[in-house]
Structure 1
Amino acid sequence: MHGTGPPLVTPFDADGALDVDALRDLVDWVEARGIDFLVPCGSNSEAELMAAEERARVIEVVADAASVPVLAGTGSPGKRETLEATAAAADAGADAALVVTPFYYDHDQATLETYYREVADESPVPVYLYSVPVFTDASLDPETVGRLAAHPNVAGMKDSSGDIAAFQRIRERTATADFDLMVGSGGVLGQALAAGGTGGVLALANIAPEATAAIYEASEAGDRERARELTAACVDLNHAITAEYGIPGLKYAMRQRGAPAGHARSPHRAPEADARAALDELLGDLDDLLAGV
């Protein structure tokens, strides 16, 4: 996967049920604004709040509606569940699987490496590693990633650590492999691309796909300064829709831009008036930014 793709939000109706029509429309909305691939059932998709059958249905709907590659989130704490979800995603039309590090229990690097090798051995589609320590309290060391990159069915990684130094070390250790290295934080997209990244899986690409596409295009054209400038202009919005107001704030902001994002599922709660006002102000800044790209 190269370019930028959103961990696509999952539209739910006011009662918390999956809104299939809105999901199809959302695929069209982000595709029309320049994304390169789609990631259903990622962290911003509320995948952990869905049953396995619902996740499989989301992937099926996205794969059917998409005209770009689909990288489906399939990771669970255990190998059996991960392999079942990966097989279901492949059957639903996914092109590859994004497998988060096993969470809940603590695992050392040797255990994580063995786990990924076993998953990759059995997966019917290419596997992408996914390190997001803010949610799992676990991360993949660059040396572990370097060894896994040699596996013929390990195709790449999403690194959501936000640590550019670690990102560079991973790139150095995977430089000779056919290995896509994508960043998971929109706040450092320009820097990660300059460090050898091939793209990003970004919450920001749900709300500002035009901006993330422009950052990637600037980097590909060799204009790294422009890529860094655009990234810097998105830092506050990226922080607001991730660390500050989370998925409810992201979905609110998307709806404000006309995206069929639907509602967040309980226990998430809709943003309060002060959060909505802050997001509206940031969306005004985004409009100004997009007018110049």
Structure 2
Amino acid sequence: MLVSRVWSSVRPGLSRVLSRTLGGWSTGEGRRMDLSGIYPPVTTPFTATAEVDYGKLEENLHKLGTFPFRGAVGGVCALANVLGAQVCQLERLCLTGQWEDAQKLQHRLIEPNTAVTRQFGIPGLKKTMDWFGYYGGPCRSPLQELSPAQEEALRLDFASNGWL
């Protein structure tokens, strides 16, 4: 990919410049800066109607995954509106190195997360917020409420993973 080739050609020079500018002024010794932990920002794309363009966001994240950076920070946490404790638990499990438990929890969260971020979007998120005792509220135009069939499919995504 062009971006990764450009970054790999720019990174060594940038590292040299930064190590010179961050160098010790009194001793004349420079410190090397490790850029492998730098995480590039990802902006949220919007549609012409000012809604989050989840398809474009997913595409951007896939592209970002090919960059030579190490790790990741942040996320699209719409699911945290309804399963906030579980999303935080996933982070704690990862931070403490409990990878098997983290993987099990992650697998249970994938289907509901896909439902509220991609499949049913904001109307789906609002419906699940209502189910979990929060106020999702009505959808603003041009968004439409879920049909009964969509609502049942959404409920199945949460129920089949043990959340409802």
Give the drift of 1:160. Answer: 7.4
1:171 to 60, 69, 87: 69
Tell me the equivalent position of 2:82: 207
Tell me the equivalent position of 1:130: 42
Higher share in strand:
1
TM-score with structure 2 length normalisation?
0.59
Residues 1:255 and 1:131: Cα distance change in structure 2 (over 3 Å): same
8 Å Cα contact 2:90/2:105 also seen in 1: yes
Tell me the equivalent position of 2:116: 241
Quote the Cα distance in structure 2 between the aligned partners of 1:129 and 1:161: 11
Aligned amino acid, residue 270 of structure 1: E
Quote the Cα distance in structure 2 between the aligned partners of 1:261 and 1:248: 9
CA-based RMSD: 3.2
1:251 to 99, 120, 126: 126
> Higher relative CO (CA 8 A, sep ≥ 6), structure 1 or 2?
1
Counting aligned pairs with the same residue, the percent is 27
Quote the Cα distance in structure 1 between the aligned partners of 2:77 and 2:59: 9
Tell me the equivalent position of 2:34: none
Tell me the equivalent position of 1:179: none
Quote the Cα distance in structure 1 between the aligned partners of 2:91 and 2:76: 12
Give the drift of 1:208. Answer: 1.3
Aligned amino acid, residue 214 of structure 1: Q
Q: Which runs of 5+ in 1 are unaligned?
A: 1-108, 110-127, 140-158, 173-195
Aligned amino acid, residue 43 of structure 2: S
How many correspondences in the alignment?
A: 120
Deviations 1:160-203 (A, max 9, x none): 7342x73373534xxxxxxxxxxxxxxxxxxxxxxx22343411
Residues 1:214 and 1:160: Cα distance change in structure 2 (over 3 Å): farther
TM-score with structure 1 length normalisation?
0.35
Give the drift of 1:245. Answer: 0.9
1:138-217 equivalences in 2 (<5 Å): 161-163=60-62, 166-167=64-65, 169=67, 171-172=69-70, 196-217=71-92
Larger Rg: 2
Quote the Cα distance in structure 2 between the aligned partners of 1:234 and 1:136: 18
Residues 1:233 and 1:265: Cα distance change in structure 2 (over 3 Å): same
Residues 1:136 and 1:231: Cα distance change in structure 2 (over 3 Å): closer
Quote the Cα distance in structure 1 between the aligned partners of 2:159 and 2:55: 35
8 Å Cα contact 2:126/2:138 also seen in 1: yes
**SS of alignment partner, residue 232 of structure 1:** helix
Q: Which runs of 5+ in 2 are unaligned?
A: 1-5, 7-39, 46-51
